[in-house]
């Protein structure tokens, strides 16, 4: 999930505005490994911010040139020597953003997330925001295991699941296949096989019609998401996935996966339906049943 604080997001947005449209779209492709297709500068900016691990990683990108950071600092009233190197400008920018947060009155926080599931469970938290951040984190992590991307795989494994996690996988591609797996090790390995062995890329639809969340009174948060499945440049079909998340107080309030229901439909099972940005077919009452 994105590790940018609100202050860093605002600052990075200002810097990204200084990029040309072609550089912005190119940077979006780089950050998402070309998994997410964006149409315009606004979508590109939002995607870059969402998929960047932290502010420093984004500022060090080749497309974010030294002169742009220099110009941003000048606009913010921060004077730097004209011959400052890029790493010095990056360091000064990060210090500037940190100083803004440090000046905040006590109790007023700048919401941040980390690159694992350690979003704090707190009263009044927003399940929809958790759902968005979880999906960005989960699919980026799972897709990074796909060797065809040529990227170093991130830290996938059973540690992200509860020991008694259950996976139900229903695939309709020609015939109907139903598989069930129980336990963190088996569930982790079966999901890993989708990207590592089968070389699939799962692209979630993060728009309101593709993502729905529901918080149960017992502490479970359901995250339902629809998306498209790709191999290389081919779109193979669509998926719908429901996650049950429960917070683990013994592990610094990390959200861990309690169950996963995954439905996959191949192109031949879609009957000519448009596969781009598929919408969820689950409604709230169906999700409510899964909470019980």
Sheet strands (E) in the chain: 161-173, 175-182, 201-204, 211-215, 220-231, 234-248, 254-266
If phi > 0 it is left, if psi is from -120 to 50 it is alpha, else beta; for residue 236 that is alpha
Could you tell me the pTM of the whole model? 0.56
Residues 51 and 136 reside in one and the same domain: no
Residues 277 and 171 reside in one and the same domain: yes
pLDDT of 110 over the 70 cut: no
Q: Which of the listed ranges 33-47, 100-114, 155-169, 202-216 does the model predict with the highest average pLDDT? A: 155-169
Residues 74 and 162 reside in one and the same domain: no
| Structural domain boundaries enclosing 81 | 6-102
List the helix and strand counts (H, then E) for the chain.
10, 7
Residues 67 and 138 reside in one and the same domain: no
* Domain assignment of residue 160, yes or no: yes
Question: How many structural domains are present in the chain?
Answer: 2
What pLDDT is recorded for position 17? 92
Residues 272 and 160 reside in one and the same domain: yes
CATH of the domain at 216: 3.10.450.50
Query: Sorting pLDDT into bands at 50, 70 and 90, what band is 105?
Result: low
Residues 233 and 277 reside in one and the same domain: yes
């Amino acid at each position: 999930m994105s590790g940018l604080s609100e202050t860093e997001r605002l600052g990075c947005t200002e810097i990204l505005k200084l990029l040309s449209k072609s550089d912005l779209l190119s940077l979006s492709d780089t950050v998402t490994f070309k998994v997410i297709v964006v149409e315009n500068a606004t979508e590109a900016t939002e995607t870059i911010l969402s998929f960047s691990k932290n502010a420093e990683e984004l500022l060090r990108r080749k497309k974010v040139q030294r002169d742009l950071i220099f110009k941003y600092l000048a606009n913010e009233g921060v004077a730097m020597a004209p011959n400052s190197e890029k790493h010095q400008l990056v360091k000064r920018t990060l210090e500037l953003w940190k100083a803004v947060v440090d000046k905040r009155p006590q109790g007023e926080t700048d919401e941040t997330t980390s690159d694992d599931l350690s979003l704090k469970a707190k009263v009044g938290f927003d399940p929809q925001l958790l759902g968005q951040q979880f999906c960005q984190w989960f699919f980026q992590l799972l897709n990074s295991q796909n060797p065809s991307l040529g990227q170093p795989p991130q830290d996938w494994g059973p540690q992200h699941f509860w020991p008694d996690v259950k996976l139900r996988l229903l695939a309709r591609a020609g015939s109907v296949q139903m598989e069930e797996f129980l336990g963190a090790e088996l569930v982790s390995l079966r999901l890993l096989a989708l990207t590592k062995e089968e070389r699939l890329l799962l692209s979630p639809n993060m728009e309101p019609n593709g993502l729905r969340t529901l918080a149960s009174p017992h502490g479970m948060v359901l995250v339902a998401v629809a998306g498209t499945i790709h191999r290389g440049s081919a779109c193979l079909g669509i998926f719908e996935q429901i996650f049950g998340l429960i917070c683990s107080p013994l592990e610094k309030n990390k959200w861990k996966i309690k169950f996963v229901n995954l439905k996959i439909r191949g192109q031949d099972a879609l009957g000519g339906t448009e596969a781009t940005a598929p919408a969820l077919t689950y409604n709230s009452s169906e999700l409510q049943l899964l909470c019980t």
